[in-house]
């Protein structure tokens, strides 16, 4: 699966977004994740790659899945990890992000994994920090490890990314998962269709080289991958659509709609799901749903990212 000119490591010091990665670097991460996945299948799920390194998981937004996934990945690499759910501490006392992070840096961590509600917060951090920064989701901007684990999951089922038709449906406007996925899938040569109500379509989305549509049928027809994005319940207040009920009737992924896709299409969702809003339970729990596999693969992919950022040594 690896290309001949595959680099040995990543050029950048940080992982701020898919935008900064070359196709070769993306493939390197996915190939490395293959090796990491094997670690997770051992009886003793641990390698010494990050022994003696300190990783701080700095989460300014609630997160169960991503935070847990990073923590398990760090522990399997033998890093010393520290979890800070900052929403409940300094920020409430009025401390700025810069001050919070400078205080953490004073204790010499090697890496900071950050989730933050503000787009660009990780880039801001990378300008003021010495540590390596891993973006675990910044506002509506990027969620690179999610896109990498999605690509890993797609590749493990389809053997490739290039040439696949991928349909992404849901709240496109507010989704960092979408933005990272569009960049990654286009860099690796997939044909991407995005579908949602016009109120949730990001301006200029066609500049990503994708096909925007409001027709679920057009998006899903002959798709190899059908990916739903979460509809946040509070979007109704922004007048983006009239009701969850109507959203489901127009855009919800039902078995009938999935039937338009290729027979071996896979169903994906980054979670957390709203059953009966963007996805029917019959689709979420169907045999071709890989939603839980995405979660499992998340650990391997994050191990690969941390390992490669740390220099890829001491494997």
Partner 1 sequence: MAILLKHARVVDPRNGRDGEFDVRIDNGVVAAVGKGLPVDGATVIALPAGTVITPGLIDMHVHLREPGQEHKETIATGAAAAVAGGFTAVACMPNTDPVNDHAAITDLIKLKAREAGLARVYPIGAVSRGSKGEQLTEIAELRQAGCVALSDDGRPVATSLLMRRALEYAGMFGMPIIDHCEDPSLKGDGVAHEGYHAARLGLRGIPGEAEELWIERDITLAGMTHGIFHVAHMSTAGSLRAVRNGKSRGIRVTTEVAPHHFVLTDEALEGYDTNVKMNPPLRSDIDRDALIAGLADGSIDVIATDHAPHHRDEKHVEFDRAPFGITGLETCVSLTFDRLVHRGVIPLRRMVELLSVNPSAILRVPGGSLSEGVPADITILAPDLAVTVDVAAMKSRSKNTPFGGWTLRGGIVGTIVGGELKYANSLAPGGDALAAGFAR
Among 26, 28, 113, 140, which residue interacts with partner 1 (rule: CB under 8 A)?
Answer: 140
| Residue with smaller CB distance to partner 1, 32 or 126 | 126
For the window 157-196, what string marks contact with partner 1 as x by the rule CB under 8 A? Answer: ----------------x--x--x-----------------
Tell which one of 3, 89, 96, 103 touches partner 1 (CB under 8 A).
Answer: 96
- Is residue 121 involved in binding partner 1 (CB under 8 A)? yes
* Stretch 254-313 residues interacting with partner 1 (CB under 8 A): none
**Cβ contacts of 207 within 8 Å, gap of 6 or more:** none
Least distance in angstroms from the C-beta of 124 to partner 1: 6
Is 138 among the residues that bind partner 1 (CB under 8 A)? yes
Phi, psi of 232, rounded to the nearest 5 degrees: -80, 135
d(CA 293, CA 110) in angstroms, rounded, equals: 30
Nearest by Cα to 33 from 115, 153, 133: 153
Indicate whether 209 belongs to the interface with partner 1 (CB under 8 A): no
Q: Is 20 a residue that touches partner 1 (CB under 8 A)?
A: no
∠93-103-88 over CA atoms, to 5°? Answer: 35
Residue choice 10, 47, 49, 97 for contact with partner 1 (CB under 8 A): 97
- Residue 32 structure tokens: 């490395």
Backbone angles phi, psi at 180, to 5 degrees: -65, -40
**Window of 27-35, 67-75, 201-209, 273-281 that interacts with partner 1 by CB under 8 A:** 201-209
Residues in the chain: 315
Residue 70 sits in the site that holds partner 1 (CB under 8 A):
no
Least gap, CB of 67 to partner 1 (angstroms): 20
Of 120, 150, 149, residue with least CA distance to 135: 120
* Cβ-based nearer residue to partner 1, 2 or 96: 96
| The dihedral formed by the CA atoms of 152, 61, 252 and 191, expressed in degrees to the nearest 10 | -30
Which residue lies nearer to partner 1 by CB, 95 or 293?
95
Residue 23's Cβ-count burial label (10 Å; 0-12, 13-18, 19+) is middle
| Site residues for partner 1 per CB under 8 A | 96-98, 116, 118-121, 123-124, 138-142, 173, 176, 179, 202-205, 207, 238
């Amino acid at each position: 699966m690896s290309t001949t000119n595959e680099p040995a490591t990543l050029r950048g010091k940080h992982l701020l977004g898919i935008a900064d990665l070359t196709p070769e670097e993306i493939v390197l991460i996915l190939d490395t994740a293959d090796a990491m996945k094997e670690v997770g299948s051992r009886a003793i799920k641990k390698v010494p790659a990050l022994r003696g390194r300190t990783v701080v998981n700095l989460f300014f937004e609630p997160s169960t899945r991503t935070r847990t996934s990073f923590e398990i990945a760090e522990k399997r690499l033998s890093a010393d990890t520290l979890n800070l759910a900052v929403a409940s501490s300094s920020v409430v006392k009025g401390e700025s992000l810069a001050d919070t992070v400078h205080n953490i840096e004073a204790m010499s961590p090697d890496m900071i994994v950050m989730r933050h509600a503000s787009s660009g917060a990780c880039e801001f951090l990378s300008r003021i920090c010495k540590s390596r920064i891993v973006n675990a989701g910044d506002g509506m901007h990027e969620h690179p490890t999610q896109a990498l684990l999605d690509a890993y999951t797609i590749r493990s089922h389809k053997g490739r990314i290039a040439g696949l038709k991928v349909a992404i449906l849901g709240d496109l406007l507010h989704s960092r998962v979408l933005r990272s996925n569009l960049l990654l899938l286009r860099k690796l040569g997939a044909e991407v269709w995005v579908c949602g109500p016009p109120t949730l379509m990001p301006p200029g989305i066609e500049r990503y080289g994708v096909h925007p549509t409001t027709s679920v049928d057009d998006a899903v027809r002959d798709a190899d991958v059908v990916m739903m994005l979460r509809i946040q319940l509070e979007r109704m207040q922004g007048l983006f659509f009239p009701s969850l009920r109507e959203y489901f009737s127009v855009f919800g992924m039902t078995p009938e709609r999935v039937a338009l896709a290729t027979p071996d299409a896979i169903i994906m969702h980054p979670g957390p799901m709203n059953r009966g809003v963007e996805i029917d339970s019959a689709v979420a729990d169907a045999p071709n749903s890989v939603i839980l596999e995405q979660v499992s693969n998340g650990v391997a992919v994050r191990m690969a990212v941390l390992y490669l950022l740390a220099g890829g040594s001491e494997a």
